[in-house]
Every structure is written in structure tokens, then in C-alpha cells.
Amino acid sequence: MKSFLGKRAIASAISLIGLIVLVFFLSRLTGDPTALYLPVDASLESREQFRELHGLNDPLIVQFGTYVSDLVRFDFGDSIRRSEPALDAVLRAFAWTLQLALITMSLVIVTAVIVGSLAAFHVGGVFDRITTFFSLVGASAPDFWIAIVAIVLFSVNLGWVPTSGTGTLWHWILPVAVLFIRPFGLILQVVRGSMISVLGSAYVKTARAKGVRNRPIIFVHGLRNAMLPVITVIGDQAAALLNGAVVVETIFGFPGVGKLMIDSILQRDFSVVLAAIFVTAVAIFVMNILIDILYAVLDPRIRY
């Protein structure tokens, strides 16, 4: 186990370094941020001054050297946009994203697992057909579209929930609901498929021969086995959420890392982009390791 974790950590670190190098150079290809920060009327001198201040005049390789030597001291540089340490801005936003992802994924997992298992138990039945159809419709719609319709419907017309923003728990309802839809549809389908094959397995037959009731057959014998392939998909979906739900965060004015990332990319705020990628990548790597551990917990046959 320990050596496995060590190996995973090393592999992750290698990927992380590759990622940072790649992003550093590729993002520089998207042009000079100067034009974005100064008014269009700004003089050439002010532009020059701006570049000098932010070290944009050095050759790329020198900039990279500086960046790496700072990074070793865990200094991600300052945000041009916000004139504060990039890491601070990222961590602040990431806290929001993490909460959003945790809440959404918990709800998704619980509901998708229950609904998917029940659908699998009566394959082809009315419940199965209805849930499959509606979960697929939900998963097929563009999220920004759902978000706006939800605001118009539930906030403006019905006045049930605030349109957007943060503050009370009510503010979480719409963003979570919109984010919920797609992973729910996908995971529901995987749970259903996995459960169907598990329910056809030999050990479920044994349980039926023992006289075990349907509910424990589904949720005790079936579920734990059916979860193994589901976990992979959950991991992918959670990773997507950790990367920031850009669209939802933008519409609902949610100060998460996705919005920070897109703003920073469009504003060429390179230090923030790099810090954001670093933080989310670390989070995703950690999550992947947790998932591997979870595999071993769920399935005693897996030992690292």
C-alpha cells in the first residue's frame, strides 16, 4: 500500500511538472496581456512600463527560470488582474468550487445509486423507462440553457429561490440543481448497467437461494459490487466539477475556480492560470488516489 501510494505520488508529480511546463509555454502563445490591462488609448510608454513591471519583456526562457525558482519556494507569483498573490486568489475560489462539487456529487451519488439500482431491478419496467428517458433528456441539454430557464422559472416567475449569488443556503439550490443534472444522468446509466450485470451474477443467485429479501439483495449484495465500475465514472465527473463548472459559475455569479480560470485565461493572467491548474490538478490527483484506495476498501480482492 505504502509503495503504491509512493508510486502514485511520483507519477502524479511527473504529470504535474509536465503540465506546468506545457501550460507555461503554451499560455504565453496567446499573446501579450498589456493590451488588456491598459485602455486602448494608453501610450507606448505606459505599455512599455507595464511590461517592465510584470517582467513580460524578458525572454520567455528567463521568465520561465524566474517562475520555477519562485515556484520552488511555493510562490506562484502575483495576479496581474487582482494584484494579489495568485495562490490566494485560487485557493479562495477553490474553496467555493470544492463545496459546490462536494454537495453536488454527494446528492448525485446518493440519488443516482438508489434510482439506478431500482431501475435495474425491474429492467424494462415503467420506472426504468421513465427514469432512463428523463435522466437522458436532462443530460442532453446544454447547461447554460437549463440555468437561464431555471432562473426565469423558479426565481422570476415563481419567486422560490434567489436568482444567483451566494449568502444563504437558498442560494445554493439552483446552481447545485443545474450542476446535478448531467452527472446524475450519466452515473444513473452506469449504475443501472452495472447493477443489471451484477444482479445476473452467480453470487446473487446464491443469495436468492438463501432466501435473502430483494432489498438486501440489491443494496447489500448488488450495490457494493456494482459500485466498482461506477466509481471510475464518479471520479471523472467529480474531476470535471473540481476543474470548475465554468458555465454555471458564470451565470450564477458563483466565485469558483472555473470562473476564475476562464477570466484569467481571457485576461492573460498567467500566474493565476498556472496556480489554478496546479491546485485543481493536485486536487484531482489526490482524488484519484482516494478512488484507488476506495477500490481496495470496496473490493477486498484488490491489494496494492
Partner 1 sequence: MGETPLLEVRNLSVDFHTVGGKVHAVRNVSWHLSRGETLAILGESGSGKSVSASAIMNLIDCPPGEIVSGEILFEGQDVLKMSSNARRDLNGRRIAMIFQDPLSHLNPVYTVGFQIAETMTAHGTPRVQARSRALELMARVGIPDHEAKFDAYPHQFSGGQRQRLMIAMALALKPDILIADEPTTALDVTVQAQVLALLEELQQETGMGLLLITHDLGVVAEVADRVVVMNSGEIVEAGTASDVYHDPGHPYTRKLIAAVPGTGEMAAPLETGIKPILEVNGLTKHFGSFIALDDASLTVLPGETVAIVGESGSGKSTLAKTLLRLEEATSGEALWHGRDLVTMGQRELFSLRRDIQMVFQDPTQSLNPRMSVYDIVSEAFAIHPKILPRSQWKARVRELLDQVGLDANHMNRYPHQFSGGQRQRIAIARSLALEPKLIICDEAVSALDVSIQSQVMTLLTGLQDKLGLSYLFIAHDLPLVRDFAHRVIVMQDGRIVEQGPVAQIFEAPRQTYTRNLIAASLHPDPEIQARRRSERLAMAGD
Partner 2 sequence: MKYQNGRVAAILLATTIAGQAMAQEQTVTVVLSEELDVVEPCMASRSNIGRVVLQNIAETVTEIVPGSGLQPRLATSWEDMGGGTWRFTLREGVTFHDGSSFTAEDVAHSIARTTGDQIVCEIGAKFFGGIAITTDIVDEHTIDITADPAQPILPLLMSTMTVVPAETPMDSFVETPVGTGPYTFDEYNVGQNITLSHYENYWGDMPEVLSATYLFRSDSAVRSAMVATGEADIAPNIAVQDATDPATDYAYPNSETVYLRVDHEIAPLNDVRVREALNLAVDRQAFVGTVLADGTLLATGMTPPSTLGYNAELEPYGYDPDRARELLQEAAADGVAVDSSITLIGRTGNFGNVLETMEALLQMFQDVGFNMELQMFEVAEWENSYSRPFAEDRGPTLVAAQHDNANGDPVFSMYFKYASDGLQSGIQDPQLDDMIAAATAATGEEREQLWSDTFAYIHDEIVGDVMLFHMVGFSRVNPRLAFEPTIKTNSELQLAQISFN
Partner 3 sequence: MTTNSDHIPAQPSATEDVPTSPAKQVLRMLWRDKLAFFAAVFLILVILCAIFGPMLFEEEATRQDLRGRNAPPFDFSRNWLFWLGGDTLGRPLLARIIVAAQNTMMVAAGAVAASLAIGTTLGLIAGYSGPRTSQVIMRLADVIMSFPSLLLAVIVLYMLAPSVGNLIIVLAITRIPVYLRTSRAEVLEVRERMFVQAAQVMGASTRRIVFRHILPIVAPTLITIATLDFAFVMLAESSLSFLGIGIQPPEITWGLMVSQGRPYLTSAWWLSFFPGLVIILTTLSLNLLSNWMRTALDPVQRWRLEIARKKHG
Interface positions with partner 1 (CB under 8 A): 200-203, 205-213, 216, 220-221, 224-225, 298-301
For cell 476543474, the residue is 243
What does 207 bind: partner 3, partner 2, partner 1, none (CB cut-off 5 to 8 Å by kind)? partner 1
170 vs 203, which CB is nearer to partner 2? Answer: 170
Please tell me the distance from the alpha carbon of residue 163 to that of residue 147, in angstroms, as a whole number: 10
Q: Decide: 108 and 176 in contact? Cβ < 8 Å.
A: no
Shortest distance (Å) from residue 55 CB to partner 2: 13
What does 61 bind: partner 3, partner 1, partner 2, none (CB cut-off 5 to 8 Å by kind)? none
Q: Decide: 135 and 189 in contact? Cβ < 8 Å.
A: yes
| One residue of 5, 36, 68, 266 binding partner 3 per CB under 8 A | 266
Shortest distance (Å) from residue 267 CB to partner 2: 8
| One residue of 212, 265, 294, 296 binding partner 3 per CB under 8 A | 265
What does 273 bind: partner 2, partner 3, partner 1, none (CB cut-off 5 to 8 Å by kind)? partner 3
Per CB under 8 A, contacts with partner 2 among 14-43 are 30-33, 35-43
Asked if residue 6 binds partner 2 (CB under 8 A), the reply is no
For cell 430483494, the residue is 214
Q: Decide: 226 and 119 in contact? Cβ < 8 Å.
A: no
For the chain, how many residues are written? 304
| One residue of 82, 163, 193, 286 binding partner 3 per CB under 8 A | 193
4 vs 64, which CB is nearer to partner 1? Answer: 4
Shortest distance (Å) from residue 29 CB to partner 2: 12
Asked if residue 106 binds partner 2 (CB under 8 A), the reply is no
What does 181 bind: partner 1, partner 3, partner 2, none (CB cut-off 5 to 8 Å by kind)? none
Shortest distance (Å) from residue 45 CB to partner 3: 26
Asked if residue 214 binds partner 2 (CB under 8 A), the reply is no
Residues that bind partner 2 (rule: CB under 8 A) add up to a total of 52
- DSSP secondary structure string for all residues of 43-103: -HHHHHHHHHHTT-SS-HHHHHHHHHHHHHTT---B-TTT-SBHHHHHHHHHHHHHHHHHH
174 vs 238, which CB is nearer to partner 2? Answer: 174
- Contact positions vs partner 2 (CB under 8 A): 30-33, 35-46, 49-50, 53, 81-84, 89, 92-93, 96, 148, 151-152, 155-156, 159, 162-170, 250-256, 263, 266, 268
